[in-house]
Amino acid sequence: MGADDQQERPEMIGWVVGFVDGEGTFSISLFRNESSKLGWQVFPEFVVTQSERNRDALGLLKEFFGCGSIYRNRRHDNRRHDNHKEDLLRYCVRNRKQLWQKIIPFFKEHPLKTSKRQDFELFVEAMELISRGEHLTERGLRRIARIAAKMNRKVPSAFLESSETVRRTGPKRA
Amino acid sequence: MGADDQQERPEMIGWVVGFVDGEGTFSISLFRNESSKLGWQVFPEFVVTQSERNRDALGLLKEFFGCGSIYRNRRHDNRRHDNHKEDLLRYCVRNRKQLWQKIIPFFKEHPLKTSKRQDFELFVEAMELISRGEHLTERGLRRIARIAAKMNRKVPSAFLESSETVRRTGPKRA
């Protein structure tokens, strides 16, 4: 490693942490899915969103982590961002193996400096439950839902309202 | 400098660049000010805004640059952010000497990686005009207004509508 690399690599690491502190999201979403065992699918995701003109910055993240994809959210698909004139791009890592092997170890070694660190820790907690298959049990799924609710309120409120929710909204029996 | 510092300092530099790429703003505002020579005051500012819970991250910036202040925007003062439940905090550097001696050299040496780099370059261009006193001439003030309009549309549109604006809206003659 040359002198430049010794300087540049830590700066790049720092940039990734800072940019994710600003623009990143760790999320655990729960979606209705009739084909899942309990009727809900758990969807962990690491996302960084930028406007079209910052595609290069998302490309740097993709190159840095060596995984993930950049998706386009067309403006008419995203009414919450109607004040933007450009499409939004989302760098996403959804693959659980890549989350475990690349994203999680990086942010364990290089902690975030904002409150997103707490979101990250909750994300890891949920991922640990998923890796043990607990999302396939009613009790585990409920724990994951509670963790997700603490993170970014993407859990349908109906899911948390009743202790009978999982059973009640589960897949129809044949 | 110990081995840890050799690693930590570049990471901190990188974090600052990444966080500002995400959350920072370079702005040149023009305000009506009857006591200014031409009736307008030019107001350059470097700002990073965060919610209350990320006060520590703004503290890191303040410590890192060794200048600037953290201000509170109370929620009822800031209707555009009404979906936030917390007050917003703004780390601001407004002092021109500190902008010249600390902020500008840092971002020249460690360039931003998003489109904010273009905003920074326009900011420097405006600051150069100001440092030469050109904001005190009608022609210079108009150039600064055009630069500011390219950056973040904080220039009153009336200012740019007519080539006679500066004279027309200038201070009342006694």
Residue of B nearest to A53 (CA): B115
Q: Are A30 and A156 in contact (CB under 8 A)?
A: yes
Predicted local confidence at residue A5, as pLDDT? 66
Q: Is the pLDDT of residue B52 over 80?
A: yes
Of the ranges A33-37, B157-161, B165-169, which one carries the lowest mean pLDDT score?
A: B165-169
Length of chain B, in residues: 174
Q: Which two tokens mark B29?
A: 């505002």
Distance between CA A31 and CA A12 in Å, rounded?
A: 35
Domain ranges of chain A: 3-169
Predicted local confidence at residue B86, as pLDDT? 76
- pTM, entire model: 0.83
A97-130: pLDDT as tens digits: 999 999 999 999 999 999 999 999 999 999 999 9
Predicted local confidence at residue B37, as pLDDT? 83
**Residue numbers in B near A60 (CB within 8 A):** 113
Predicted local confidence at residue A174, as pLDDT? 37
Radius of gyration of chain B, Cα coordinates, nearest whole angstrom = 18
* Residue to test with chain B: of A5, A15, A116, most B Cβ within 10 A: A15
List C-alpha distances in Å: A99 to A23, A61, A75, A163, B48. 18, 14, 28, 30, 30
Distance from CA of A85 to the nearest CA of B (A): 14
CATH 3.10.28.10 applies to domain A3-169: yes
A67 burial type by CB count under 10 A (0-12 exposed, 13-18 middle, 19+ buried): middle
Would you place residue B87 in the very low, low, confident or very high pLDDT band (cuts 50, 70, 90)?
confident
Please give the CATH architecture assigned to the domain spanning B3-168: Roll (3.10)
| Of residues A82 and A36, more confidently modeled | A36
Residue B50 contacts A, CB cutoff 8 Å: yes
B2-37: pLDDT as tens digits: 555 667 899 999 999 999 999 999 999 999 988 888
Residue A157 contacts B, CB cutoff 8 Å: no
Inter-chain residue contact A11 with B16, CB threshold 8 Å = no
Q: Are B141 and B135 in contact (CB under 8 A)?
A: yes
Predicted local confidence at residue A120, as pLDDT? 97
